[in-house]
Amino acid sequence: MDQTHLGRSGLSVSRLCLGTMNFGPETSEEDAHEIMDRAHTEGVNFFDTANVYGQSAGKGRTEEILGTWFASGGGRRERTVLATKVYGSMSDWPNDTFLSARNLVRSADESLRRMQTDWIDLYQFHHVDLATPWDEIWQACETLVAQGKVLYVGSSNHAGWQLAAGSEAARARHFTGLVSEQSIYNLLTRDIELEVLPAAQHYGIGIIPWSPLQGGLLAGVLAKQDGSRRHNERNQKRVAEVRPQLQRYEDLCAEWGLAPADVGLVWLLHQPAVTAPIIGPRTMAQFESSLGAASLTLTTEQLDALDDIFPGKKPAPMQYAW
């Protein structure tokens, strides 16, 4: 598995990021441990989670599963670049949500406890908090970094201007600031090409795409004769909305002799500023099926053919102005 730097930082991470959102509600602790062990075997060292992950198993459950895996030893924690997120509500109390200094510091301590570790490699803001000033956010992060509890800071679901505002506020404080941004990005959803990608490139912020296959739509959904996605009313509606594009896409992948899921992932690896798409397997088989993409490359002609099916966006304002 190839490695790359996370944004402008010196931190080396694998070109695929293991997303753990299914660990707990969909994947048993034992199976999750096996997937993480296999990830290390394959050279995937970049793991992403969040304090709220756990859903039906309870918020925080996913971090706890990582904690028991780290506690089993064998250098598991030392070999892992661990990313978690903060923002979502962990209780009904008003200060257990968003990005206040209080919540940032207390949530970090709780995540460390659940994950049975002394440090978080990448602490990410799960969503933008327009009510909390950047100076307050950075003051809390500076404290966490000084204490050795956090090494790097990233964002998620932020707009381009928010990346700029945060980066400039950090620069004024002589603080490293954001090194990554986690955004939805795939062949079907290319909105971040307008302003987020240009801002990320300008500030040296690595992009970590989530939902790289648009909830499975880019994984060969039309060719699958069984499977819950075809029978889910909501997904059937989504498929119907883009069916002509998906049919062209799957036909093209078949012509190339490549799996649609692999093409969707490797396309992201060709995009500027992208560090590592997040793969979120429920099973070992799903994890194994994602590994092939990291060893593929697409030609210029293939990339152009994909752009013809799924048109991208020019950086703003060129997309809409003369």
Here the tokens at position 162 are: 């928010």
Q: What are phi and psi of 137, to 5 degrees?
A: -60, -45
CB 39 within 8 A of CB 76: no
| CA dist 98 → 48, 65, 109, 151, 236 (Å) | 19, 24, 15, 20, 34
Q: Do β-strands 17-19 and 278-279 pair in parallel, antiparallel, or remain unpaired?
A: parallel
| CA dist 130 → 137, 162, 257 (Å) | 11, 9, 47
31: helix, strand or coil: helix
Positions annotated as catalytic residues are 53
Distance, CA of 76 to CA of 55 (rounded, Å) = 25
